[in-house]
Structure 1
Amino acid sequence: MVEMTLVGLRVVLEVARAGSFSGAAERLGYSQSAVSRQVLVMEKVVGTALFERHARGVRATAAGEVLVRHAGRVIDGVAAAGQELAGLRDRLAGRLSVGGYPTASAVLLPRAIGRLLRVHPGLQIRVVEGSTPAQLQALRRGRLEVAILATGKGLPAYELDGLQLSELARGRGSGVAVAESHAFAAREFVRPDELVDEVWVVGARSGDAPEFGAWPGIEEPRVSFAVRDWPTRLGLVAAGLGIALVPGVAAESVPRGVRWVPVREEGSGFGRTAWAVTGADPGPAASAMVGALQAEAVEFGTRAP
């Protein structure tokens, strides 16, 4: 009894996509006669013609269209199964706990995790939210394998002895989130001195880290709202109730109705360096996570906001 095969389904799918037997043969690396034989076998299985010839090649019959539709699903399913099985054999399969400060966790960390899981689908990654001091403590106690932190002007001098730091590429610098109706929204950049008279939406924990406050150097900023959650803060910006400081690493997290505008610092202001931090002897999964963070950070520097 002749039965459908995965090879036959793939051949039928490629003939339909290419519009010819010769085109399918080229895509698959088969001879044209081998493609013709596979199509004949599949036609024998279904009991009717799958393709009809025309001046420029072939097109699927009604039966062919049905088979092509299901063939795509079957082949995708087999590919997914293969990826999942590969994950079971992946030497990095297991659990990994990672974390970072809020603005790094908005875009950079999720994308780096996605990059890592595409290569090592067997990993199970847990994202740990918390302040930088709490994450450093968790690193020392072995409850966290990788954290992202920032150093620079206005940040605490964290105790980093015994930890391994890997610098992440410097990206876009910092900027401000403004409503689309704001005068800055049409600008390519603004200068720090232009921010002095602006009304600010800040974080409720603005004393903990610069990204929660107004632009550094403004002695008495005019604050309209101080809120805890990042989405609320940007929502208030979208409503035109103030502007907010947003590091470039989180520029792509701004919602609809908000535009991120870089601030040209001219040698002062919000300069900082981001680091991926691990224990003194990171395992293979933690090292791979650091590599993914570094690769994603490089791309951040080349993408438009």
Structure 2
Amino acid sequence: MAELTVAGLRTVFEVARQGSFSGAATVLGYTQSAVSRQVAATEAAAGSELFERLPRGVRPTAAGEVVIRRAGRVLAELDGALEEVAGVRDRFAGSLVASGFPTATAVLLPRAVARTRARHPGLRVALQEAASPVQVRRLRAGQVEVAVVAVGAGLPAPDLDGLRAETLHVPRGSGVAVGRAHRLADRDVLDVEDLVGETWVAGAGPAGEPQFGAWPGLSEPHIGYEARHWATRFGLVAAGLAVTVVPGLAADSVPRDVRWIPVRNPVVPDRALLAVTAGAPSGAASALVRAIREEAAALGAPATP
């Protein structure tokens, strides 16, 4: 008789999260056929179809909803057990190296490192900034223990085979940064139509880093400037020369003379944020991933005026 497996439950859970086999394959670092096999094996063990196949993606069946709900609890308990066991083994002391792409190192990773240090004063965490493909190579070479990477539309697909990748959920979506004297600065939320006619500062950087141009969906937007670093982009915005797209991940990094405003019904690329470690992470790495997960979930509070 077929049995449920952890790999199968994790795959089914991620398919439900992403809404498609291909999306789950990207996040988990599997091939799409491997995802299909895991789902089929889990359906055989459950004795029911877990997903309704649609022209675009999938939708959980009633049986699927039950399995997905229970799988979430099981996986959370297993991940927690691994963290506790690793903590006993490694005693959360010594040092580790973490890395992230520039948007992740603006707010998320510094806060996660601070949270980890508060819990484990004996642990020293070094932080590097690099494009996602570079991070994965360094992780495989043992130069980095925890990497925060971006995957999805318009980005290179890193080879995550044999690595452990956890999807991070940031409740706050993308928005636009404007200067304090800008015509839209007193608004609490924007519609895409409000952005017509604006001059934009776009990101510029190495391949593999998420870049932000004008707001997606605008017809013939005017890109007036390009800048690699957020400080330069915010300087142009503060001077009233342009506006710029800022993901919710980095919204808390805007300076005092700039205001971040969410955009209603944003049309953004289909991307995912992952915390990646070796297949059997150390206790210190697991502790940092836990802090990253918690800080990502906390990035949902409204931006302060």
**Bucket of the pairwise TM-score, normalised by the shorter protein:** 0.5 to 0.7
Q: CA deviation at 1:111?
A: 0.5
Is contact 1:202–1:213 with CA below 8 Å preserved after alignment? yes
| 1:7 aligned residue | none
CA distance in structure 2 between the partners assigned to 1:206 and 1:190 by the alignment: 30
Q: CA deviation at 1:206?
A: 8.1
**Cα displacement string for residues 187-215 of structure 1 (whole angstroms, at most 9, x for unaligned residues):** 12222343342111122228654443222
| 1:298 aligned residue | 297
**Cα displacement string for residues 107-150 of structure 1 (whole angstroms, at most 9, x for unaligned residues):** 11100100000011111111111111111110111110011122
Alignment map for 1:1-305 (pairs within 5 Å): 91-205=91-205, 208-218=208-218, 220-265=220-265, 268-302=267-301, 304-305=303-304
SS at match of 1:165: strand
**Cα displacement string for residues 72-119 of structure 1 (whole angstroms, at most 9, x for unaligned residues):** xxxxxxxxxxxxxxxxxx821111101111111101110010000001
Is contact 2:132–2:209 with CA below 8 Å preserved after alignment? no
SS at match of 2:202: strand
Q: CA deviation at 1:226?
A: 1.1
| 1:10 aligned residue | none
SS at match of 1:184: coil
% of aligned pairs identical? 50
SS at match of 2:298: helix
SS at match of 1:277: strand
Q: Which amino acid aligns with 2:282?
A: G
- In structure 2, the CA distance between the partners of 1:300 and 1:237, relative to structure 1 (3 Å rule), is same
| 2:42 aligned residue | none
Q: Which amino acid aligns with 2:215?
A: W
- In structure 2, the CA distance between the partners of 1:216 and 1:153, relative to structure 1 (3 Å rule), is farther
Q: Which amino acid aligns with 1:294?
A: R
Q: Which amino acid aligns with 1:108?
A: L
CA distance in structure 1 between the partners assigned to 2:202 and 2:231 by the alignment: 12
- In structure 2, the CA distance between the partners of 1:246 and 1:187, relative to structure 1 (3 Å rule), is same
CA distance in structure 2 between the partners assigned to 1:195 and 1:257 by the alignment: 20
TM-score under structure 2 normalisation? 0.65
Q: CA deviation at 1:164?
A: 0.7
Count of matched residue positions in the alignment of Structure 1 and Structure 2:
215
SS at match of 2:160: coil
Is contact 1:174–1:270 with CA below 8 Å preserved after alignment? no
**Cα displacement string for residues 265-297 of structure 1 (whole angstroms, at most 9, x for unaligned residues):** 35x324533211111111100000000001111
Q: Which amino acid aligns with 1:189?
A: V
Which of these two proteins has the greater Rg computed from alpha carbons? 1
Alpha-carbon RMSD across the aligned residues, in angstroms, is: 2.0
SS at match of 2:295: helix
SS at match of 1:295: helix
**Cα displacement string for residues 14-68 of structure 1 (whole angstroms, at most 9, x for unaligned residues):** xxxxxxxxxxxxxxxxxxxxxxxxxxxxxxxxxxxxxxxxxxxxxxxxxxxxxxx
- In structure 2, the CA distance between the partners of 1:152 and 1:233, relative to structure 1 (3 Å rule), is same
Structure 1: which 5+ residue stretches go unaligned?
Answer: 1-89
TM-score under structure 1 normalisation? 0.65
- In structure 2, the CA distance between the partners of 1:195 and 1:303, relative to structure 1 (3 Å rule), is closer
CA distance in structure 2 between the partners assigned to 1:92 and 1:208 by the alignment: 32
Structure ranking higher on relative contact order (CA contacts 8 Å, 6+ apart)? 2
Is contact 2:131–2:209 with CA below 8 Å preserved after alignment? no
Is contact 2:213–2:223 with CA below 8 Å preserved after alignment? no
CA distance in structure 2 between the partners assigned to 1:183 and 1:270 by the alignment: 27
Q: Which amino acid aligns with 1:286?
A: A
SS at match of 1:216: coil
